[in-house]
Amino acid sequence: MLNRVILIGRLTKDPELRYTPAGVAVTQFTLAVDRPFTTQGGEREADFLPVVTWRQLAETCANYLRKGRLTAVEGRIQIRNYENNDGKRVYVTEIIADNVRFLESGNNRNQSSPPPSEPSNKDPFSGDGKPIDISDDDLPF
């Protein structure tokens, strides 16, 4: 009934922009977030949290985020599952972001998710996109 996540961390790599078969933009990146404590050996560890953004926000993230940049993300946790090559069901936990803040960048653009006023698969559009590996079934709204 309520599912809210707020993260601040750094991108482990440049973001990756893909398109669904219907032409919807999806950007994925991983945020390294330091843990609030050190290990018994005095080491500071981090969690590497996968983030997914859709549509306009995906395009903006692909344009402005880069490896190493300090970034704030707001969204919700979601568990996606699919069948792998061995026919086994695999569960993936991801943060579906609806708000991303670029805390470091050349021009400091920031962007929130402009919510879809229309069903987005009304005007399917495919062909200009990158190779496809994400299903439209994964669309978060």
Partner DNA sequence: TTTT
The site for DNA (CB under 7 A) is made up of: 9-13, 30, 32, 34, 44, 46, 48, 67-68, 81, 89
Minimum Å gap between C-beta 20 and DNA is 21
In angstroms, the first-to-last Cα distance of the chain is 16
Residue 138 DSSP SS3: helix
Considering CB distances under 5 to 8 angstroms, the limit depending on partner class, which of a second copy, DNA, none binds residue 89? DNA
The interface region with a second copy, picked from 16-24, 30-38, 58-66, 123-131 by CB under 8 A, is: 30-38
132 and 140 Cβ atoms separated by less than 8 Å: no
66 and 16 Cβ atoms separated by less than 8 Å: no
Give the residue among 62, 100, 71, 56 at the shortest CA–CA distance from 11.
Answer: 71
Nearer to DNA, 104 or 141 (CB): 104
77-136 positions binding a second copy, by CB under 8 A:
77-79, 93, 95, 99, 101, 103, 110, 112, 115, 117
The interface region with a second copy, picked from 2-10, 16-24, 53-61, 127-135 by CB under 8 A, is: 2-10
32 and 44 Cβ atoms separated by less than 8 Å: no
Q: What is the DSSP letter of 95?
A: E
Distance CA 15, CA 61 (A): 7
Residues that bind a second copy in the complex, under the rule CB under 8 A = 1-9, 33-37, 47-49, 70, 72, 74, 76-79, 93, 95, 99, 101, 103, 110, 112, 115, 117, 140-141
